[in-house]
Each structure stands twice: as structure tokens, then as C-alpha cells.
Structure 1
């Protein structure tokens, strides 16, 4: 079984490796119901008994697919901040998803919006209780000039989350974001049980070391890492061409190739190094790569268990490809 780690001060213990479900919402490509079900089964059999999902992932599709295969002891996090409103425009790719679900996501971080989102997620998941709720994609990276307005609206949403936790409807709440700045801003204003941080603590980007991870350690705020492969550039034996949901800029691609070259010299798969690196920081409880097929689950479990020599991390630091202050496995 996969070892567990305590999630901050929440009392929850998460397996070090969890299941990210954005691909099960047909992110960029269609996944059959059979593949989705067998992926979830394979993840459970491999010990990945924590899954992160969201209404946004396929406009309810990922939650529905996850709910169809959940055992009682599965820990689930889902998200609030977008409500799903009916639409007739369901063809083609929408917001990156190829989903047939007849809904359109609409931002709503208000008190009532959070409560409505929670109830709708319970119905789609087929659950009486959800362990963790995360505010989804708050911050300037998503909202630009509307950031201040959304943060004002979120004050109501945070009250709703506190009500849900206080009443025992959830065990913990936090945020699920792709940037460090908004996490630090919110920690200045409101205690958070956890932060799901995607893409900002990886082999390519250790910016969370500057302030966010030390702050989380000091406050007892748990951290879950999403996007350990930075949208795929770190997922293979060699670098892919996508970084942060778009084509990789030349400097990022050059750095990824340099990291891959070091991995090749040490006979280590790039994906294994990327996955295991994220778990070396003591504040990190779990990492949740997105998976869409049973073969991807098997590959992920192999990466998680792969032996990696200490010399790999030493060489990456010597070459200036990994920060000197970054904790490394072993």
C-alpha cells in the first residue's frame, strides 16, 4: 500500500499518491466510460485512495464518473467557485474539455454559490459527505482586472466553507490554484486548512520555495501538489512540448531538455524524477497527477516506486537546474 501523510493540522491522512480527475472530464481528448471506470478501479487497487475532482472538469462529467466507482473509505476533494448552468452548446471543445454534459461553468464565489456548488457536487458524486472543498482558480492569473472583485465575493464563500466545516459537512477547506501570490494573499486574511498547488512546485518551477511553502509549514497548512509534470513536458522519458496548458516557451523547453539529459545520464526516467521530487518537501502530503487510462495508473505507480540515485539530485543542483535549497528524496 502507498504510505499516508498527515494533511497539515486537519486530522486527515492522505496517501502520498492520489488520483487527479481532470482527464476523466475529457480534458483535450475523449475518454470512454469504460476507460474511466477501469482507471478508477486501477488507482484504487494500487492504493491511490484519494481523488481530487471539480465541477469544472467536463462540466460535471469527472464528478459523475468518479462517484460511480467510489468505495466508502475513499477521500475526496472537489471544488467550489464555478456553478454549472444549463446550455445547449455542447459540441466540440469547450474550455479545453470535450464533454457532452449540457452545462456551462459560471464563476460564483459567494456564500450562496458555495453552498449550491457543494450540494450539486454531492448529487453528482452520489455522496452524503465530501471530505475537502477547495476554492477553484481564484487569483489574478485567472481573473486579471476582476481579481479584487472576486476576492470581495470570496469573503462570503469563505464564511460558507467555515459553516460547512463547523457543522461537520466537510473536514477541511482550502484553495486549488496555479499561482503562489493568491495563496499568500489569502493566508494573510484567512486560515486555510490546505492548498492544492498546481505547477508551481516541480522540477521546472520551484517558486513556491520562496515564501509559500515556508508559510504553510509555519501555519500548519497542508499542501497537495497537482500538475507535477507541468502539463506534460516532464511526463515522458524526454520532454514533451506542453507547459502550463500551452506550447512550451523556448527557455522552458531548453531547461526541460537539460534536466532530461541529466536523467538519461543517471538512467532515470524524467517522469519518475518529476513525480518523486514533489514529495520530498516535508509540508507536502500528496501529489495528484491526472490520469485517464489504466496504463497511465500503472506507469505512475512504477514512477513512484522507481529507484533514483542521490547523484541525480546532486548533478541537477550542480548544473543549476534545481535550486540548491530544494529538498530532495532520500
Structure 2
């Protein structure tokens, strides 16, 4: 379960709904929860921590959180900041240095009410996020932050380390430089973009780096459908994306498969992929996720989906 939603991503979620979502996920057999300080500026971690303390007292669930942003007080009263609404008066500040990583880890443990998390990811490194500052942040991580992660792992404070990103290029670059146990790649290996991360996934399979796929619905468009004109990559979906989604819907309909079921199951076909983490809010979304995960999918569907996308690409080129 991805936990950005219970941190009020795009819309306000009440405490009871957040708690019920985690409880339903645990009851359904979902045992891995991914969160970050950035999600609601600490709110998602606090809510996940309270819910797990209540519904998972033996701490069986696997939890990952992230480093790279420290939360500092802000005077801003904007109703929405960085996509999160009704969030605490805190502002995320990027810092991938050694001491900042350790401080972020400790602060996350306090918010989560846990003695440890199993996985710790460096969050949102890369040019798309940082632009002209990307090289500076990457150097801070390589010069100090990575050592902090490695030391936490090697001393047993955590089980595994890696990246939590939406960008492929930075994964390739860091695999050239350091050892990564896990890469959480969000929104870049989906039914809508089936080839974008192919080379990276093959490389991860060769070197033994596990991959967790986040954002299997591309921020919602692959579960809401083309008629919704919903979110894609955390922004309103452009027309060409809506057209590609419509083509996938037609291919799925020919096989009697709901589009979200195909979208959720698609990433699991890659050998390197260890887990898929859709964002969930509410008991109904948990129930839908389990239904999508169990829906039988005939093998020819995958070829038909690819052909549908190829046809759109050919028409666009023409």
C-alpha cells in the first residue's frame, strides 16, 4: 500500500478513513506499506504509525520510508502545498547529506512510533525534480547520504537501502556508482508505458537489485479511465495520454478484463519486480485492489495492449 493518499494528496482524508484503510489492508493480507516524510509533511507517517500500532501490534508489517527532505516550520497558510491539502505547518527542505539522512530517519521513526523500518530510500533524486540543482544533491548523497544509509543497513538498523524515484536516468547513474538493494520506481513502468524502464529492469535482474513499482495507475488515469481526464504523473492528463488510455480500455474490453486489473498486474510480469504498491484511500479501494489483483488475465491481452499503443503511436507519427 502506498500511503501518500492518507497524507491528504489532492484531497483531505479524515483520521477515521486513514485508520480504516490501513486496517482493511492488513486484514486483506497486504503486508507492505510505503510512506515518506514528504507525504502530507509528516501526516502520512503519523497516521500510518497510529494505525499500525492499533491494528498490527506485533509489528509484522514491512514499512519503507524515505530520506532527502527535512521538515521545517512554515508560516504558509496555503490550503494546498506540493499537492497536499490541510497539511501541518511544515515545509520540506531538500538535504541528502550524511547527518540529514540520520536526522530524517530518526524523525520518521518517531512519527511512525516504531523502533525500526525495514527499508529506507533516498527520495526524489534526479533532474526532473531538481533541475539545475540535481548534480549538487546527487553529490551530497554520494559524498555522505549513501554512507549513512549503508551504515544503518550494515549495523542492522534497517534491512535494505535504495532509491524512491520517478526517474529512470538517476537509477542507471547510481547503479554505476553504488550498491542498491532496492529501487522503488513510481509511474515509469506501467501498462501505459510498457517499454520505458525495460533496460533498467533487465539490469536490476542481472545485478540482484529488487524493484518495487509504485504508481501502477499512473497517478490515477489507469483506474479512473479515459472518460475521467484524470491525473497522469501527478498532473492533469494531456490529450495524448487520454487517447492512449482509451485504446487500452478497448483492448481490455475485448478480453473482459477491467483496465485497473491489467494495470495492477502488468508490472508483476517482470522478473526484477518484487512488489507493486498502489496508493489506497478507503476500504472500498482496498477491496477493489484485491479484486483487480485476483482477476484472471488471458495471455493474449498483453500483446493486444501493446498493439493498441503501437497503433496510437503510428497514427501520431503519421
Q: What band does the TM-score fall into relative to the shorter chain? A: over 0.9
State the 1:124 CA deviation. 0.2
Alignment of 1:145 with 2:127, yes or no, is no
Residue 51 of structure 1, aligned match among 27, 33, 38? 33
Q: RMSD over aligned Cα, in angstroms? A: 1.4
Q: Which residue is 2:99 aligned to?
A: 112
Following TM superposition, the consecutive aligned residue runs of length 4 or more in structure 1 with deviations greater than 4 angstroms are: none
State the 1:87 CA deviation. 1.6
Q: Is the 8 A contact 1:51 1:76 kept in 2?
A: yes
Q: Which moved more, 1:178-187 or 1:232-241?
A: 232-241
Q: Secondary structure at the match of 2:222?
A: coil
Q: Is the 8 A contact 2:248 2:308 kept in 1?
A: no
Equivalent positions of 1:192-271 (< 5 A) are: 192-236=180-224, 238=226, 240-241=228-229, 242-271=231-260
Cα distance change, pair 314–62 in 1 and its aligned pair in 2 (3 A): same
Q: What is the distance in 2 between the residues matched to 1:318 and 1:144? A: 35
Q: Secondary structure at the match of 1:120?
A: helix
User: Which runs of 5 or more structure 2 residues have no equivalent in the other structure?
Assistant: 312-318
Q: Which residue is 2:314 aligned to?
A: none
Q: Which moved more, 1:119-128 or 1:306-315?
A: 306-315
State the 1:237 CA deviation. 5.4
Q: Is the 8 A contact 2:160 2:182 kept in 1?
A: yes
Q: Secondary structure at the match of 2:80?
A: coil
User: Which runs of 5 or more structure 1 residues have no equivalent in the other structure?
Assistant: 1-18, 323-330
Cα distance change, pair 30–252 in 1 and its aligned pair in 2 (3 A): same
TM-score by length of 1: 0.89
Residue 286 of structure 2, aligned match among 290, 297, 300? 297
TM-score by length of 2: 0.92
Choose between structure 1 and 2: higher helix proportion: 2
Cα distance change, pair 320–207 in 1 and its aligned pair in 2 (3 A): closer
State the 1:310 CA deviation. 2.1
Q: Which residue is 2:315 aligned to?
A: none
Aligned length: 304
